[in-house]
């Protein structure tokens, strides 16, 4: 099972086994990782599952779909490496993915 | 003071159908919502997105669902109190006393919280010092556009609100429009207009920039912005407008003495009652073992909470279960029978 590492804004590291097919957001919510609110439940409608993807992983992820960038406009402190974690689907290729959680979601 | 059998907090799909159920069984109710329109998340977050899992409705958008629910309420007289947030819920000897942000006071034996994921509030600038200037020089909506005349205004955002106000205020103010990327998500016609105004020199456009600080002693004087390559600029600003959409906040609900689980309210599955007698929670905001965050679950929860309200609102009457197909009293309430 792929391992996903979530790093909180306080630099706490949580490495979790996440089933293939779940999103990085779902992996966080199901394992009570603090800092990912996911208010809309994965509908790409709220920008409260915002994460920063570490540089070496960012280009390896499937590209953003239409709409994700629009929602990121509303995220708290978006950066070049911002993604919505509900749009990143976990697969074997993502084993070892690291994401940083912003200090706030809004 | 407004007396009612039940007060519903939240005018989303669950709140609307709960109102239908209350009126059908002969109780009156009023609805309060912090948004300026009916429909909750359906209308605010996904008005154009199709929904495929409403029973017997193969496909409909958030806006269509809302319209249909409002239509279903047509036989009934229900008062909506929009753009008002419920601030306080306290018990007097018998009833719940509910106060709103506009100073309205309700007295009711039943409060049904159909609050979704909380109330919608504008998203604010991450820059902490903005708070000092909020509602003086930093705004998240426009109430009176006259105050901007002849002033220098910094507008942040890339959606329709930001673009519409940039176009409008460019007539009488010096407008700096700042956005985190080059693409805008507003209507294409407005985007074109903005670009034309930029060419004419009526709007100064800064793309790939975000705010890093606000400066001023009492009065706002300037702001610092920074781009992706860490280049900093200081620009003059009398006013700052931020349009980053809305976010849901649990808000005052946290202070009403209810058992909370993360951002949800714990309820039983018979009445959808909270730990406080006469306060119910239905829809996305409630939690119980097996809870599904589906609109259809909200409808079920609202129907049961409405029946529970009957006991407290009509303590001397007995509730009788009836079908709309056959009951003459229900058909009368629906306006289908004299």
Using an 8 Å Cβ cutoff, are B175 and B142 in contact? no
Q: What is the CA radius of gyration of chain B?
A: 24
The B residues from 5 to 44 touching A (CB cutoff 8 Å) are 41
Chain-centroid distance of CA B128 in Å reads: 24
Domain count, chain A: 1
Closest CA to B114 of B202, B42, B169: B42
Structure token pair of residue B104: 């309205």
Q: Averaging pLDDT over each range in A34-38, A39-43, B52-56, which range is the top one?
A: B52-56
Q: Does residue A45 carry a pLDDT above 90? A: no
Kindly report the length of chain B.
338
Chain B hits for A104, Cβ within 8 Å: 126
pLDDT digits (tens, 9 = 90+) for B164-219: 999 999 999 999 999 999 999 889 999 999 999 999 999 999 999 999 999 998 89
B229: Cα within 13 Å, side-chain hemisphere? 2
Residue A105 lies in a domain: no
Q: State phi, psi for B95 to the nearest 5 degrees.
A: -105, 165
> Mean pLDDT for chain B?
95
Q: Is the pLDDT of residue B269 over 90?
A: yes
Return the closest-CA partner of residue B117 out of B177, B55, B40.
B40
Tell me which residue has tokens 């992820």. A61
| Domain enclosing residue A13, as ranges | 3-100
**CATH architecture type of domain B2-121+247-333:** 3-Layer(bba) Sandwich (3.50)
Q: How many CB pairs under 8 A join A and B?
A: 51
CB B305 within 8 A of CB B280: yes
End-to-end Cα spacing for chain A: 32
Residue of B250 and B295 predicted with greater confidence: B295
- pLDDT at position A40: 84
pLDDT of B44: 87
Residue A61: per-residue pLDDT: 94
The whole-angstrom distance between B21's CA and the closest CA on chain A is 26
Give the residue carrying structure tokens 């009492």: B218
Residues of chain B found within 8 Å of residue A73, distances taken between Cβ atoms: 157-159, 179-181, 185, 244-245
Query: How far is residue B29's CA from residue B143's CA, in Å, rounded to a whole number?
Result: 31
**What is the secondary structure of B220-277 as a DSSP string?**
--EEEEEETT--EEEEE-SEEEE---EEEE-GGGGGS---EETTEEE--TTT-B-SST
The pLDDT of residue B48 is 86
CATH number reported for the structural domain that contains residue A59 in this entry: 3.10.20.30
Task: Report whether pLDDT(A68) > 90.
Answer: yes
Say if CB B183 and CB A69 are below 8 A apart. yes
Average pLDDT over residues B17-46: 95
- CATH 3.50.50.60 in chain B is located at 2-121+247-333, 124-244
pLDDT at B120: 85
Query: B201 vs chain A: nearest CA distance in angstroms?
Result: 25
- Taking only the tens place, the pLDDT of each residue in B86-135 is 999 999 999 999 999 999 999 999 999 999 988 888 999 999 999 999 99
How many CA within 13 A on the CB side of residue B325? 0
Cβ burial of B141 (10 Å; 0-12, 13-18, 19+) is: exposed
Contact B183 A69 (CB under 8 A): yes
B300 φ/ψ angles, rounded to the nearest 5 degrees: -60, -45
Q: Is A73 within 8 Å of B157 when comparing Cβ atoms?
A: yes
- For A:35-54, CB contacts with B below 8 A are 37, 39-41, 43, 45-48
In percent, the amount of chain B with pLDDT more than 70 equals 100
| Torsion sign over Cα A48, A52, A58, A60 | negative
User: Is-contact B20 B45, C-beta < 8 A?
Assistant: no
User: What is the mean pLDDT of the segment spanning A14-32?
Assistant: 96
Q: What confidence tier does A65 reach under pLDDT thresholds 50, 70, 90?
A: confident
B142 Cβ contact partners less than 8 Å away, ≥ 6 residues apart? B165, B241
Mean pLDDT of B79-90: 96
Q: Does B50 touch chain A (CB under 8 A)?
A: no
CA B324, chain centre distance (Å) = 32
Residues of chain B contacting residue A70, judged by C-beta atoms under 8 Å apart: 158-159, 185
The pLDDT of residue B53 is 96
The CATH fold of domain B124-244: FAD/NAD(P)-binding domain (3.50.50)
Instruction: State the CB neighbour count (10 A cutoff) for residue B103.
Output: 8
Task: Measure the CA–CA gap between A26 and B173, rounded to whole angstroms.
Answer: 46
pLDDT at residue number B5? 98
- Neighbouring CB atoms inside 10 A of B328's CB total 11
Nearest C-alpha of chain B: how many angstroms from A1?
A: 26
Report the alpha-carbon distance of residue B137 to residue B148 in Å, rounded.
10
Q: Does A55 touch chain B (CB under 8 A)?
A: no
Contact list, B292 vs chain A (CB under 8 Å): none
Q: Given this model, what pLDDT does residue A16 score?
A: 96
DSSP state of B135: T
Could you give the CA distance from residue B170 to residue A79 in angstroms, rounded to a whole number? Answer: 29
Q: Does B110 touch chain A (CB under 8 A)?
A: no
Percent of chain A with pLDDT over 90: 80
Residues of chain A neighbouring B180 (CB-CB closer than 8 A): 73, 78
pLDDT category, B307, cuts 50, 70, 90?
Answer: very high
Closest alpha carbon within chain A to B184: A70
């Amino acid at each position: 099972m792929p391992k996903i590492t979530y790093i909180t804004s306080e630099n706490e590291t949580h490495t979790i086994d996440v089933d293939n097919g779940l999103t990085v957001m779902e992996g966080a919510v199901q394992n009570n990782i603090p800092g990912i609110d996911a208010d809309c439940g994965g509908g790409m409608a709220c920008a409260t599952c915002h994460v920063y993807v570490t540089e070496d992983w960012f280009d390896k992820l499937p590209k953003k779909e239409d709409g994700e960038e629009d929602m990121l406009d509303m995220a708290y402190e978006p950066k070049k490496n911002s993604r919505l974690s509900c749009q990143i689907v976990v697969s074997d290729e993502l084993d070892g993915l690291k994401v940083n959680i912003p200090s706030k979601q809004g | 003071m407004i007396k009612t059998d039940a007060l519903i907090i939240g005018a989303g799909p669950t709140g609307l159908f709960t109102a239908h159920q209350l009126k059908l069984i002969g109780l009156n109710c009023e609805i309060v919502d912090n948004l300026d329109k009916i429909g909750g998340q359906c209308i605010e977050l996904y008005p154009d997105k199709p929904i495929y899992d409403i029973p017997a409705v193969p496909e409909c958008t958030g806006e269509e669902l809302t319209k249909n629910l409002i239509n279903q309420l047509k036989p009934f007289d229900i008062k909506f109190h929009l753009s008002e947030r419920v601030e306080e819920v306290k018990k007097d000897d018998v009833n719940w006393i509910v106060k709103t942000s506009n100073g309205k006071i309700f007295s009711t034996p039943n409060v049904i919280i159909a609050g979704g994921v909380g109330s919608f509030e504008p998203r604010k600038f991450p820059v902490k010092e903005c708070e000092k200037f909020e509602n003086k020089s930093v705004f998240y909506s426009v109430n009176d556009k006259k105050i901007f005349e002849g002033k220098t205004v910094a507008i942040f955002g890339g959606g329709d609100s930001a673009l519409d106000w940039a176009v409008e205020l460019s007539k009488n103010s010096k407008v700096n429009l700042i956005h985190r990327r080059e693409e805008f998500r507003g209507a294409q016609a407005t985007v074109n207009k903005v670009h034309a105004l930029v060419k004419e020199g009526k709007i100064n456009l800064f793309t790939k920039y975000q705010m890093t600080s606000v400066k001023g002693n009492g009065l706002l004087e300037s702001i610092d912005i920074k781009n992706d390559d860490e280049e900093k600029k200081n620009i003059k600003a009398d006013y700052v407008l931020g349009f980053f959409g809305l976010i849901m906040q649990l808000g005052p609900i946290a202070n009403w003495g209810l058992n909370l689980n993360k951002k949800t309210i714990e309820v039983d599955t018979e009445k959808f009652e909270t730990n406080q007698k006469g306060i119910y929670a239905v829809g996305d905001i409630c939690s119980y073992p097996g809870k599904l965050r589906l609109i259809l679950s909200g409808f079920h929860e609202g129907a049961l909470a409405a029946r529970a309200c009957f006991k407290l609102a009509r303590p001397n009457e007995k509730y009788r279960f009836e079908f709309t197909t056959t009951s003459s009293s229900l058909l009368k309430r629906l306006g289908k029978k004299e």
